[in-house]
Amino acid sequence: MNILVCVKRVPDTSENEIEVNSSGSDIERDDLVYSVNEWDNYAVEEAIQIRDKVGGKVTVITVGDDESEEILRREMAMGADEGILLSDDAFEGSDGKGLATILKAEIEKGSYDLIMTGAQADGGAAQVGGMLAAMLDMPYASLVNKIEVLDDSKIKVGREIEGGNQEMNEIDLPCVLSIQTGINEPRYVGIRGIRKVASLDIPVHGAGDLSIDAASVGEAAAKVKRLDYFVPDMGEGAEILEGSTEEIIEKLIEMLKAKGGLK
Amino acid sequence: MAQIFAYIIHKDGVADDSALELAVAAQAIDPSASVTAIVCGSGIDAVCTEAAASYKEVWKIDSADLAYPNAEVVRKALVNILPKGAVILLPHNTFGMDLGPGLSVKLDTAYVADVVGVEGTDGNNLKLIRQEYSGMVSTHVNADISGGAVITIRGGAFQPDESKGAGGSVTDKSGDAGDLGSKRRFLEVVEAEVGDVDITKSEVLVSVGRGIEDQDNLEIVEELAKAMGADVSCSRPIVDAKWLEKSRQVGTSGQTVSPKVYLACGISGSFQHMGGIKGAPFIVAINKNPKSPIFQLADVGIVADILEFLPELTEAVEG
Amino acid sequence: MEPALISPAKASLLGIPTVIFSVLIPVIGVALFTYIMAKRVAPLAFANPDFRFNRIRERAYRLLKYWLAQWKHPRYRTAGIVHIMLFAGFIILSVRSASLVIIGISEDFVMPGFGGSLGHIYNILKDYAATVVLVACVIAAYRRIVVKPKRYAVPEKYGKDHTSEAVFVLCMICGLIISESLFEASLAAAAVQKGVHAECLAPLSLAWIFRVSLSPVSLKTLQVLHVVCYYIHDLIFFSFLCFLPLGKHFHVITSIFNVWFMKLDKGTVKPVKWGVEDDQLDDLESFGVKKFEDFTWKHMLDFYSCADCGRCSDQCPANAVGRPLSPRFITIKARDYAFSHYPLKGNFKAEEPLIGGIYTEDEIWSCTTCGACEEECPLTIEYIDKMVDIRRGMVDEGNVPQSLQKPLSALEKRGNPWGKMEKKRSAWAADKEFKKECSVKLVEKGDTAETLFFVDSISSYDDRIQEITKSAAKVLTAAGTDFAVLGKLEKDSGHEVRRFGEEMLFQTLKEENTENIKESGAKRIVTADPHTYNALKKDYKNLPPVYHISEYIAEAVKSGKISLKSGDGNGKVYTYHDPCYLGRHNGMYDIPRDVLDAIPGMKRVEMTKSRDRSFCCGGGGLMLFYEPVEEQRMGQLRVEMAKEAGANVIVTTCPFCMVNMEDAIKTSGLEGEMEAIDLVELIQRHL
């Protein structure tokens, strides 16, 4: 099976304190470290496991700048066979649709049976997979937490839905899936693994290589634009509720309702 | 302003809470808009009637192919039925995430996911608020809705208006849905094992720590969680004591959770524990020790013995 | 002089001279033994190299101490004494047994040097030795059959019980002793009857008792007994020799080599591959031990040398709390693998992966590298290096538990397992309250100092442990030490990173730290964390001298730089918990105790398990992130031990011990009753 996994380099949010810069135009990036989007990492592991089971090839692809190459290499160290970097100044400022348009152009150059993305990335929109599928006219399933290859033409997938339930579907290939965390246990990649693939060639494709009309991607084409970043007001430390127990409970219930903790 | 549509999620003949929230969100986008609810499914008259209480107009798409809401099939129906330039609101849940992105491509509209607030409209520009980086920062986004938009709304972000005085009418659009064949076929729903709650997906967690003192006291926490419709999680000592299963543990060595609300009961807030809480939930700390570090990390603190406080809170919540 | 009886060398049976048997038995025995040994040695030929041919004097000293003097045996008193009796008896009797083989061919043979009075003394000695061995065998058999010490038991999942093997060997030994004594006694009894001179038998020895008992027996019977016992002895002797390499008694042969080649430097970790320098590691195709043949020859020798005595597992904290690890079976399973894959008959079997084969992942991650097993092993078998090697293999395959992947990648990116920001590494020093009392120099800001205080990750970032760090800084200040910390230039020392098998990440951390330490210009390094201490001292190279803070305090107290005021005599009873990496791995037992005792009015008790038998708190570094399957936490057991000793304050000198103890006190519901404190904090309070 020929599998393509779309990955993204994102700030590692586990302990990074994401702060907004003084002008609000971006987050403070000086002290950030980056890694592959966690969901994407699960997708790559799943792709590798499928390939190891039924044969084929795993390609990882990303849209980004030169620095994004590092995450391709990391995923190749995991076991992906090839990496492709889509990079062009014209791609900058693309919204979800712009990204899907760029990916689509590359995908149409190849022949993939299965395309995977992470269920979501740093922006939290969970959009590129679904858009890509619609653009490619392929079936799509999001939040996939189980994949079973039935034969060359169809697979069975489980989607994680509310209440911890799993929605089982049968999907014809080729298709696009967005992968939920927990579908597998991604293998560890250390410095040694990355060094082993350090010399492998990763082709870089720009708008010209992909015959993309620069006007259809990038900031100019984006229908959705981020205006600024801001941090909603949050005081320092806890607001200690005082008064009688009844008063405290009354205040608390009010707050819980406001925050969605009580319906 | 374009016409606004709200997609109504329903189960077992009852509309989801999001139905009311989307009505409020639509009002926030355009107070003057007439909002149309869309109900897809099979044998859905009761849901349509229910939706008509909150929406002036309800479009019914009734088809055996829609007996289970398969987003791929629903998308086909919607593409055939919706007018050009429409603004479609979906809840940002597992269905909305499945449907929204593809729908926006097929309708060639803007797509904005997981919206938590609406700032207002300026011509064709709709200014919305959403969050990035697991909720650590918020952003204002501008959506060009000249060609319409698909917008998913975060659950709980808009307070539902319960007045239900819309008195709307139901229009059957089933005939316009077109061919509903799909390359993705729904098979079944595998129910989660009983008692096997995935706290990583819980929206509200009542989390218990050492302050509970004794296994028998866990009942207090379970009762509160039940009253709140929340799940019970815990810190490591509770699992170590084997009072709760490992899958309930929040922390670097346990589960990483990202609820909306986190009620830390008798938890001191070690960073191994707090490391398991992501996405900046609203944290309420209840601890008898006023110097407990949890009070630095929580949004709201209550200095009290949980053994005394929680039963009273449960009673009040049950009202 | 004519002997009283015809010797086996000259006797004949049914007209056949028995000397034929005297020749045939040894020839067949030696041939069989050689064949078995060749098969046993075979896997060592496929093994990885191991560098053990240096430091002859040290090795000779250890051989005398641990092998000849059986140094570790009395740690288990009864079994130890019995073993010393057996061992000493064996050593003495080996000369006699060897001579006997030749006597069967040439009756007048005397071992060179044993002709004169030495021979007479020896004969007396060996009679007693044989008696002692027999007594030891009886005691050992009684223990095996009746007492059945728990540590000998073999849990079902690990294989079958070896009691029958042990008893069988005891029977063989008894057979040797009895047949040799009867051979001797029959001759002596005949001599007495004939009135000729005979070798005098040691009074009250087994042979002497036999001689006395045999005095009424006819000469003819004595003659038969004399020859028959000789061949019984000969047969048992060679059977025994060939039986040894088949099981746990292989140690009788291998122990001398195993002790000679023992690991000399505690606390160190073996290189990924002997002979491959750190900067050549990238060239290696594979890392660590993935299959049996990846072990070094010495580690294979370890497997053969195990006597299956169960002391390691009896001391292992992981085993004690029900983790799926028992060091004894790490060895026994590998030995059985060697036996079955390199069989005596037939071809070698195809190699199989160790993980998923004889070992499970959890088994290997369960080890805290506390070193209790190695400390105990009378045969100086190693475990930590093997664990590290197997982990290296797992890491190389990407087979790392999810709970460890996050801290490892955070260490790679940010130099600490929590992924906290580098610039916050010295945040503890910027704390307002603290700054009023103590100002800390920062190398990252260009400060320099004689002494570098290497803080390490947990002591930099953990709220609770920061208190220890602050106390350390205050104590250093009080002692007038000119010190600085690296701040954001400091990375995790990588101590556990290395011991969890991520060698390349460790190398990266080591390189960065080494460079920054050297650039700081410090003349010495001090740390409050034994893991850091061990890393900088044993894993790093070419650094200035490294000290643990307790050494610093001890020196400062001694020289009068700091004086300690008396403690609050409110019924506090202290006990000192030895951290593994200060105690066992670095032998620092007395310094922290001396420091404690320097506090006037200190009431201190010792736990039963202390010093080199200290019980691990649960493990440091990455072990905090790993979630082992266990019935109980090590810390809880340890707190119980402290309570049993009558203490209510546990003093330790390691931040990880501190975290684990405090947690254990809480989870055991002993808050208010017991407390844990770091030595540095305690000292700072008594300044």
Residue B13 sits in the same domain as residue B70: yes
Residue C523 sits in the same domain as residue C656: no
SS3 content of chain B, % helix, strand, coil (to 5): 30, 30, 35
Residue C440 sits in the same domain as residue C392: no
CB pairs under 8 A between B and C: 31
Q: Identify the DSSP state of C8.
A: T
Instruction: Determine, for residues A192 and C282 on separate chains, whether the beta-carbon distance falls below 8 Å.
Output: yes
Query: How many other CB atoms are there within 10 angstroms of residue A80's CB atom?
Result: 26
State how far residue C443 is from chain A, nearest Cα, in angstroms: 19
Residue B137 sits in the same domain as residue B211: no
Residue C474 sits in the same domain as residue C498: yes
Residue B168 sits in the same domain as residue B248: no
Instruction: Determine, for residues C624 and B272 on separate chains, whether the beta-carbon distance falls below 8 Å.
Output: yes
> Which of C464, C626, C667 is nearest residue B237 as measured by Cβ atoms?
C667
Residue B152 sits in the same domain as residue B232: no
In a domain, C170, yes or no: yes
Instruction: Determine, for residues A187 and C397 on separate chains, whether the beta-carbon distance falls below 8 Å.
Output: yes
| Full residue range of the structural domain in which residue B96 is found | 4-176
d(CA C30, CA C256): 20
Chain B residue numbers with beta carbons less than 8 Å from the beta carbon of A19 are: 137
Q: Give the DSSP H/E element, type plus range, for residue B23.
A: helix B18-29
Residue B91 and residue B18 in contact, taking contact as beta carbons nearer than 8 Å: yes
Residue B76 sits in the same domain as residue B124: yes
In a domain, C404, yes or no: no
Domain boundary among C367, C396, C425: C396
Residue C504 and residue A191 in contact, taking contact as beta carbons nearer than 8 Å: yes
Query: What's the whole-number average pLDDT of chain C?
Result: 93
Two structure tokens written together for B268: 């001191």
> Which of B186, B283, B284 is nearest residue A252 as measured by Cβ atoms?
B284
Can you give the pLDDT at residue C157?
84
Residue C110 sits in the same domain as residue C235: yes
Q: How far, CA to CA in Å, does C533 sit from each of B172, C510, C528, C547, C616?
A: 77, 13, 8, 7, 17
Residue C665 sits in the same domain as residue C543: no
**Average pLDDT by consecutive 10-residue portion of chain A (263 residues)?**
97 75 88 92 98 97 96 96 96 94 96 96 93 97 96 94 82 96 90 93 95 91 93 68 90 89 76
Residue B165 sits in the same domain as residue B212: no
In a domain, C241, yes or no: yes
Residue B140 sits in the same domain as residue B216: no
pLDDT digits (tens, 9 = 90+) for C111-164: 888 888 888 899 899 999 999 999 999 999 999 999 999 999 998 888 888 889
Residue B246 sits in the same domain as residue B155: no
Residue A169 bridge partners (DSSP):
A157, B186
In a domain, B193, yes or no: no
Chain A residue numbers with beta carbons less than 8 Å from the beta carbon of C421 are: 15-17, 31
Number of domains within chain B: 2
Two structure tokens written together for C506: 């460790």
Strands B10-11 and B14-15, by their bridges, are: antiparallel
Residue B283 and residue B292 in contact, taking contact as beta carbons nearer than 8 Å: no
Closest-approach residue (CA) in chain B for C625: B253
> Which of C418, C463, C669 is nearest residue B275 as measured by Cβ atoms?
C418
In a domain, C587, yes or no: yes
Band (B294; pLDDT cuts 50, 70, 90):
confident
Domain boundary among C372, C396, C420: C396
Domain boundary among C499, C528, C558: C558
Chains that touch C (3 or more CB pairs under 8 A): A, B
Residue B206 sits in the same domain as residue B162: no
> Which of A14, A17, A187 is nearest residue C410 as measured by Cβ atoms?
A14
CATH number at residue C643: 3.40.50
Band (C569; pLDDT cuts 50, 70, 90):
low
CATH number at residue B127: 3.40.50.620
Residue C552 sits in the same domain as residue C679: no
Residue B69 sits in the same domain as residue B210: no
Residue C21 sits in the same domain as residue C168: yes
Tell me, which fold does domain A2-221 have in CATH?
Answer: Rossmann fold (3.40.50)
Q: Identify the DSSP state of B42.
A: S
Residue C435 sits in the same domain as residue C389: no
Residue B30 sits in the same domain as residue B162: yes
Can you give the pLDDT at residue A234?
44
Q: Identify the DSSP state of B157.
A: S
Report, as an integer, the average pLDDT of B56-81: 95
Interface test with B, best of A39, A256, A262 (most B CBs within 10 A): A256
Residue B171 sits in the same domain as residue B223: no
CATH number at residue B280: 3.40.50.1220
Number of domains within chain C: 4
Can you give the pLDDT at residue C663?
83
Domain boundary among B176, B211, B238: B176
* Cα–Cα nearest to C431, from C420, C441, C439, C443: C439
Instruction: Determine, for residues C400 and A187 on separate chains, whether the beta-carbon distance falls below 8 Å.
Output: yes
Residue B237 and residue A238 in contact, taking contact as beta carbons nearer than 8 Å: no
Can you give the pLDDT at residue C143?
94
| Full residue range of the structural domain in which residue C602 is found | 574-685
Band (C466; pLDDT cuts 50, 70, 90):
very high
Chain B residue numbers with beta carbons less than 8 Å from the beta carbon of C418 are: 252, 271, 275
ipTM for the assembly: 0.88
Domain boundary among B161, B176, B191: B176
pLDDT digits (tens, 9 = 90+) for C279-336: 999 999 999 999 999 999 999 999 999 999 999 999 999 999 999 999 999 999 999 9
State how far residue B246 is from chain A, nearest Cα, in angstroms: 16
> Which of A14, A192, A195 is nearest residue C396 as measured by Cβ atoms?
A192
Two structure tokens written together for C629: 């399957």
pLDDT digits (tens, 9 = 90+) for C620-670: 889 988 878 888 889 999 999 999 999 999 999 999 999 899 888 977 878
In a domain, B187, yes or no: no
Q: Could you tell me if A239 lies within 8 Å of chain C, comparing CB atoms?
A: no
Interface test with A, best of C278, C412, C418 (most A CBs within 10 A): C412
Res B33 pLDDT > 90 = no
Taking the CA atoms of C337, C339, C341 and C342 in sequence, report the sign of the dihedral they define.
Answer: positive
